[in-house]
Amino acid sequence: MGKRRLAATILLAAIAFALGSCALDAGDAPILGPYARLGPPDAPVKLFYEDEGQGPPVLLIHGFGTSSYTWRYIIPALVLKHRVIAVDLKGFGQSDKPFDERYSVLDQAELLAQFIEDHDLRDLTIVGHSFGGGVALRLALDHDTRLAGRIKKLVLLDSIAYPQHIPVFFRLLDMPFVSHLGVRMVPPTVQTRVALQIAYFDDDKIDPEEVETYAAPLKTAAGKHAIIYSARQIMPDDIDTIAESYSSITLPTLILWCDHDRIVPLEIGLKLRRALPNSTLRLVPDCGHMPQEEQPETTFELLQSFLND
Protein backbone atom coordinates (compact mmCIF):
# COMPACT_ATOMS: atom_id res chain seq x y z
CA MET A 1 0.00 0.00 0.00
CA GLY A 2 1.44 3.41 -0.98
CA LYS A 3 2.13 6.08 1.64
CA ARG A 4 -0.69 8.32 0.41
CA ARG A 5 -3.21 5.50 0.43
CA LEU A 6 -2.11 4.40 3.91
CA ALA A 7 -2.38 7.96 5.23
CA ALA A 8 -5.84 8.35 3.72
CA THR A 9 -6.96 5.08 5.26
CA ILE A 10 -5.71 6.08 8.70
CA LEU A 11 -7.38 9.47 8.49
CA LEU A 12 -10.59 7.93 7.26
CA ALA A 13 -10.63 5.49 10.13
CA ALA A 14 -10.03 8.32 12.58
CA ILE A 15 -13.59 9.48 12.02
CA ALA A 16 -14.47 7.15 14.84
CA PHE A 17 -12.94 9.63 17.22
CA ALA A 18 -12.30 12.90 15.42
CA LEU A 19 -15.26 14.74 16.86
CA GLY A 20 -14.43 13.56 20.32
CA SER A 21 -12.99 10.50 21.93
CA CYS A 22 -14.58 7.11 22.37
CA ALA A 23 -15.44 5.35 25.60
CA LEU A 24 -15.68 1.67 26.37
CA ASP A 25 -18.17 -0.38 24.41
CA ALA A 26 -20.74 -2.51 26.22
CA GLY A 27 -18.77 -5.66 25.51
CA ASP A 28 -15.59 -4.27 27.09
CA ALA A 29 -16.82 -2.30 30.11
CA PRO A 30 -18.65 -3.26 33.29
CA ILE A 31 -22.30 -2.29 33.60
CA LEU A 32 -22.30 0.65 35.99
CA GLY A 33 -25.83 1.97 35.88
CA PRO A 34 -29.40 1.53 34.64
CA TYR A 35 -30.84 1.47 31.15
CA ALA A 36 -33.79 3.36 29.73
CA ARG A 37 -35.96 1.45 27.26
CA LEU A 38 -36.95 3.96 24.58
CA GLY A 39 -38.29 4.17 21.05
CA PRO A 40 -41.20 2.42 19.35
CA PRO A 41 -42.45 -0.83 20.92
CA ASP A 42 -41.55 -2.82 17.81
CA ALA A 43 -37.95 -1.54 17.77
CA PRO A 44 -36.97 -0.44 21.29
CA VAL A 45 -33.51 0.86 22.10
CA LYS A 46 -31.84 0.60 25.50
CA LEU A 47 -29.83 3.68 26.46
CA PHE A 48 -27.35 3.45 29.28
CA TYR A 49 -27.27 6.39 31.69
CA GLU A 50 -25.72 7.50 34.96
CA ASP A 51 -27.82 9.42 37.49
CA GLU A 52 -26.09 10.98 40.49
CA GLY A 53 -26.58 13.78 42.99
CA GLN A 54 -29.49 15.93 44.07
CA GLY A 55 -30.70 19.36 43.09
CA PRO A 56 -31.63 21.01 39.78
CA PRO A 57 -31.16 18.43 37.01
CA VAL A 58 -28.42 18.65 34.39
CA LEU A 59 -28.50 16.38 31.34
CA LEU A 60 -25.09 15.78 29.71
CA ILE A 61 -25.06 14.79 26.02
CA HIS A 62 -21.72 13.61 24.67
CA GLY A 63 -20.25 14.21 21.22
CA PHE A 64 -19.85 12.00 18.18
CA GLY A 65 -18.02 8.79 18.95
CA THR A 66 -17.91 9.43 22.68
CA SER A 67 -20.03 8.44 25.65
CA SER A 68 -20.80 9.53 29.20
CA TYR A 69 -17.14 8.72 29.92
CA THR A 70 -16.21 12.06 28.36
CA TRP A 71 -17.67 13.83 31.41
CA ARG A 72 -15.52 11.92 33.91
CA TYR A 73 -13.69 15.07 35.09
CA ILE A 74 -16.85 17.22 35.29
CA ILE A 75 -19.39 14.97 37.03
CA PRO A 76 -17.71 14.63 40.47
CA ALA A 77 -17.76 18.39 41.04
CA LEU A 78 -21.11 18.95 39.38
CA VAL A 79 -22.99 16.45 41.56
CA LEU A 80 -22.21 18.47 44.69
CA LYS A 81 -25.03 20.86 43.82
CA HIS A 82 -26.98 19.18 41.03
CA ARG A 83 -28.66 15.99 39.94
CA VAL A 84 -26.45 14.99 37.01
CA ILE A 85 -27.66 12.60 34.31
CA ALA A 86 -25.21 11.50 31.63
CA VAL A 87 -26.67 9.43 28.80
CA ASP A 88 -24.91 7.30 26.22
CA LEU A 89 -26.51 8.09 22.88
CA LYS A 90 -27.76 5.28 20.69
CA GLY A 91 -24.78 3.54 19.13
CA PHE A 92 -22.19 4.64 21.68
CA GLY A 93 -20.79 3.68 25.05
CA GLN A 94 -22.91 0.99 26.70
CA SER A 95 -26.11 1.80 24.80
CA ASP A 96 -27.61 -0.43 22.11
CA LYS A 97 -25.99 -0.36 18.68
CA PRO A 98 -28.63 -1.83 16.38
CA PHE A 99 -27.82 -2.57 12.75
CA ASP A 100 -30.14 0.09 11.37
CA GLU A 101 -29.57 3.55 9.89
CA ARG A 102 -31.44 5.67 12.46
CA TYR A 103 -28.47 7.55 13.93
CA SER A 104 -29.24 11.15 12.95
CA VAL A 105 -29.53 14.20 15.22
CA LEU A 106 -33.31 13.93 14.89
CA ASP A 107 -33.28 10.23 15.82
CA GLN A 108 -31.16 10.90 18.89
CA ALA A 109 -33.27 13.89 19.96
CA GLU A 110 -36.46 11.83 19.68
CA LEU A 111 -35.07 9.24 22.09
CA LEU A 112 -33.90 11.87 24.57
CA ALA A 113 -37.22 13.71 24.47
CA GLN A 114 -38.85 10.46 25.56
CA PHE A 115 -36.17 10.02 28.23
CA ILE A 116 -36.84 13.52 29.63
CA GLU A 117 -40.58 12.87 29.74
CA ASP A 118 -40.26 9.39 31.25
CA HIS A 119 -38.01 10.73 34.02
CA ASP A 120 -40.20 13.81 34.50
CA LEU A 121 -37.22 16.16 34.32
CA ARG A 122 -38.11 19.82 34.94
CA ASP A 123 -36.10 23.04 35.32
CA LEU A 124 -33.58 21.14 33.25
CA THR A 125 -30.23 22.36 31.96
CA ILE A 126 -29.09 20.53 28.83
CA VAL A 127 -25.35 20.41 28.12
CA GLY A 128 -24.32 19.19 24.68
CA HIS A 129 -20.85 18.71 23.19
CA SER A 130 -20.14 18.64 19.44
CA PHE A 131 -22.69 16.24 17.88
CA GLY A 132 -24.44 16.26 21.24
CA GLY A 133 -24.71 20.02 20.92
CA GLY A 134 -26.65 19.52 17.71
CA VAL A 135 -28.98 17.16 19.58
CA ALA A 136 -29.35 19.73 22.38
CA LEU A 137 -30.24 22.46 19.88
CA ARG A 138 -32.90 20.22 18.38
CA LEU A 139 -34.40 19.62 21.82
CA ALA A 140 -34.31 23.34 22.63
CA LEU A 141 -36.21 24.28 19.48
CA ASP A 142 -39.36 23.22 21.36
CA HIS A 143 -40.99 21.40 18.46
CA ASP A 144 -41.87 18.53 20.81
CA THR A 145 -44.88 19.21 23.02
CA ARG A 146 -43.57 16.69 25.56
CA LEU A 147 -40.80 19.15 26.42
CA ALA A 148 -42.99 22.22 26.93
CA GLY A 149 -41.76 24.16 29.98
CA ARG A 150 -39.21 21.51 30.98
CA ILE A 151 -35.94 23.03 29.70
CA LYS A 152 -34.57 25.98 31.67
CA LYS A 153 -31.04 26.53 30.31
CA LEU A 154 -28.80 25.39 27.48
CA VAL A 155 -25.03 24.88 27.28
CA LEU A 156 -23.26 24.23 23.98
CA LEU A 157 -19.63 23.06 23.83
CA ASP A 158 -17.97 23.29 20.40
CA SER A 159 -21.31 22.32 18.90
CA ILE A 160 -22.25 21.47 15.35
CA ALA A 161 -24.90 23.92 14.20
CA TYR A 162 -24.33 25.18 10.65
CA PRO A 163 -23.03 23.88 7.34
CA GLN A 164 -19.26 23.76 7.51
CA HIS A 165 -16.28 22.41 5.65
CA ILE A 166 -16.04 18.67 6.14
CA PRO A 167 -12.51 17.21 5.83
CA VAL A 168 -12.01 14.73 3.02
CA PHE A 169 -11.71 11.75 5.37
CA PHE A 170 -15.22 12.50 6.66
CA ARG A 171 -16.66 12.79 3.17
CA LEU A 172 -15.18 9.44 2.21
CA LEU A 173 -17.50 7.79 4.72
CA ASP A 174 -20.28 8.33 2.20
CA MET A 175 -18.53 5.68 0.08
CA PRO A 176 -19.65 2.36 1.58
CA PHE A 177 -16.69 0.23 0.53
CA VAL A 178 -14.09 2.80 1.53
CA SER A 179 -15.70 3.56 4.89
CA HIS A 180 -15.97 -0.09 5.93
CA LEU A 181 -12.43 -0.77 4.72
CA GLY A 182 -11.01 2.09 6.76
CA VAL A 183 -12.52 1.18 10.13
CA ARG A 184 -11.71 -2.52 9.68
CA MET A 185 -8.14 -2.50 8.35
CA VAL A 186 -6.45 0.06 10.60
CA PRO A 187 -5.77 -1.06 14.20
CA PRO A 188 -8.09 0.72 16.66
CA THR A 189 -5.18 2.07 18.69
CA VAL A 190 -3.71 3.71 15.58
CA GLN A 191 -7.09 5.24 14.74
CA THR A 192 -7.40 6.56 18.27
CA ARG A 193 -3.93 8.06 18.41
CA VAL A 194 -4.38 9.88 15.10
CA ALA A 195 -7.82 11.18 16.04
CA LEU A 196 -6.77 12.41 19.47
CA GLN A 197 -3.97 14.35 17.84
CA ILE A 198 -6.62 16.07 15.72
CA ALA A 199 -8.96 16.71 18.64
CA TYR A 200 -6.40 17.83 21.24
CA PHE A 201 -4.42 21.05 21.29
CA ASP A 202 -1.72 19.62 23.56
CA ASP A 203 -0.63 16.15 22.42
CA ASP A 204 1.28 15.64 25.67
CA LYS A 205 -2.07 15.11 27.38
CA ILE A 206 -2.62 11.93 25.36
CA ASP A 207 -1.45 8.93 27.39
CA PRO A 208 -1.29 5.20 26.49
CA GLU A 209 -4.08 4.23 28.90
CA GLU A 210 -6.38 6.81 27.31
CA VAL A 211 -5.60 5.50 23.84
CA GLU A 212 -6.33 1.90 24.85
CA THR A 213 -9.58 2.87 26.56
CA TYR A 214 -10.86 4.90 23.62
CA ALA A 215 -9.91 2.23 21.07
CA ALA A 216 -12.26 -0.34 22.60
CA PRO A 217 -15.50 0.39 20.63
CA LEU A 218 -13.99 -0.33 17.23
CA LYS A 219 -13.32 -3.91 18.26
CA THR A 220 -17.00 -4.79 17.73
CA ALA A 221 -18.99 -4.97 14.50
CA ALA A 222 -21.86 -3.09 16.12
CA GLY A 223 -19.57 -0.28 17.22
CA LYS A 224 -18.11 0.06 13.72
CA HIS A 225 -21.60 0.13 12.23
CA ALA A 226 -22.77 2.85 14.63
CA ILE A 227 -19.73 5.03 13.90
CA ILE A 228 -20.19 4.82 10.14
CA TYR A 229 -23.92 5.49 10.05
CA SER A 230 -23.70 8.27 12.62
CA ALA A 231 -20.94 9.93 10.62
CA ARG A 232 -22.95 9.78 7.40
CA GLN A 233 -25.77 11.71 9.11
CA ILE A 234 -23.65 14.06 11.18
CA MET A 235 -25.03 17.06 9.29
CA PRO A 236 -28.83 16.99 8.69
CA ASP A 237 -29.99 17.48 5.11
CA ASP A 238 -32.21 20.34 6.25
CA ILE A 239 -29.53 22.07 8.33
CA ASP A 240 -30.14 25.44 6.62
CA THR A 241 -33.82 25.35 7.56
CA ILE A 242 -33.00 24.27 11.10
CA ALA A 243 -30.45 27.06 11.48
CA GLU A 244 -32.99 29.69 10.46
CA SER A 245 -35.04 28.80 13.53
CA TYR A 246 -32.26 29.20 16.11
CA SER A 247 -33.40 32.75 16.80
CA SER A 248 -36.57 31.29 18.34
CA ILE A 249 -34.52 29.74 21.16
CA THR A 250 -34.87 32.24 24.00
CA LEU A 251 -33.43 30.04 26.74
CA PRO A 252 -30.42 31.42 28.63
CA THR A 253 -27.56 29.81 26.73
CA LEU A 254 -23.85 29.45 27.46
CA ILE A 255 -21.66 28.79 24.44
CA LEU A 256 -18.21 27.42 25.32
CA TRP A 257 -15.60 27.11 22.58
CA CYS A 258 -12.01 25.93 22.48
CA ASP A 259 -9.65 28.54 21.06
CA HIS A 260 -7.87 26.00 18.83
CA ASP A 261 -10.75 23.88 17.52
CA ARG A 262 -9.78 22.30 14.19
CA ILE A 263 -12.98 20.26 13.90
CA VAL A 264 -15.83 22.71 14.49
CA PRO A 265 -14.29 26.15 13.90
CA LEU A 266 -14.83 29.13 16.16
CA GLU A 267 -16.82 30.90 13.45
CA ILE A 268 -19.63 28.43 14.14
CA GLY A 269 -19.68 29.53 17.76
CA LEU A 270 -19.73 33.18 16.74
CA LYS A 271 -22.68 32.57 14.43
CA LEU A 272 -24.52 30.83 17.25
CA ARG A 273 -23.85 33.77 19.56
CA ARG A 274 -25.39 36.14 17.01
CA ALA A 275 -28.37 33.86 16.37
CA LEU A 276 -29.35 32.98 19.93
CA PRO A 277 -30.85 36.11 21.50
CA ASN A 278 -30.10 35.19 25.13
CA SER A 279 -26.63 33.69 24.75
CA THR A 280 -23.11 34.30 26.03
CA LEU A 281 -19.91 33.08 24.37
CA ARG A 282 -16.84 32.13 26.38
CA LEU A 283 -13.51 30.86 25.05
CA VAL A 284 -11.57 28.04 26.70
CA PRO A 285 -7.85 28.69 26.22
CA ASP A 286 -5.23 26.17 25.10
CA CYS A 287 -7.89 23.72 24.01
CA GLY A 288 -8.66 21.72 20.86
CA HIS A 289 -12.17 20.31 20.51
CA MET A 290 -12.99 18.72 23.87
CA PRO A 291 -12.94 21.32 26.66
CA GLN A 292 -14.47 18.93 29.20
CA GLU A 293 -11.47 16.63 28.77
CA GLU A 294 -8.55 18.87 27.89
CA GLN A 295 -9.40 21.82 30.17
CA PRO A 296 -11.90 20.40 32.69
CA GLU A 297 -11.23 22.89 35.50
CA THR A 298 -11.86 25.94 33.33
CA THR A 299 -14.86 24.25 31.74
CA PHE A 300 -16.40 23.42 35.10
CA GLU A 301 -15.82 26.90 36.48
CA LEU A 302 -17.60 28.50 33.50
CA LEU A 303 -20.39 25.94 33.64
CA GLN A 304 -20.94 26.28 37.39
CA SER A 305 -21.01 30.08 37.19
CA PHE A 306 -23.69 29.88 34.51
CA LEU A 307 -25.75 27.38 36.49
CA ASN A 308 -25.57 29.60 39.57
CA ASP A 309 -26.94 32.67 37.76
Residue-wise pLDDT tens digits, 110-169: 999 999 999 999 999 999 999 999 999 999 997 788 999 999 999 999 999 999 876 544
Band (pLDDT 50/70/90 cuts) for residue 103 is very high
Sequence-separated (6 or more) residues with CB below 8 Å from residue 164 = 235, 264, 265, 268
pLDDT at 7 over 70: no
State mean pLDDT over 1-12.
Answer: 40
CA distance 192 to 213: 9
Select 3-308's CATH number: 3.40.190.10, 3.40.50.150, 3.40.50.2000, 3.40.50.1820.
3.40.50.1820
Looking at the chain, the whole-number percentage of residues with pLDDT higher than 90 is: 61
User: Of the candidates 268, 279, 259, 262, which has an alpha carbon nearest to the alpha carbon of residue 239?
Assistant: 268
User: Would the CA dihedral through 26, 31, 33, 37 be positive or negative?
Assistant: positive
pLDDT at 22 over 60: no
pLDDT at position 208: 79
Tell me the whole-structure pTM to 2 decimals.
0.86
Give the lowest-confidence range in 105-109, 134-138, 182-186, 246-250: 182-186
> Chain centroid to CA 32: how far?
20
pLDDT at 104 over 90: yes
CA distance 246 to 132: 16
State mean pLDDT over 193-214.
Answer: 80
CA distance 114 to 109: 9
pLDDT at position 227: 85
Sequence-separated (6 or more) residues with CB below 8 Å from residue 294 = 200, 201, 202, 205, 258, 286, 287, 288
Over residues 29-65, the pLDDT tens digits come to: 444 569 999 999 999 999 999 999 999 999 999 998 7
State mean pLDDT over 9-34.
Answer: 43
Give the lowest-confidence range in 74-88, 124-138, 175-189, 235-249: 175-189
pLDDT at 199 over 90: no
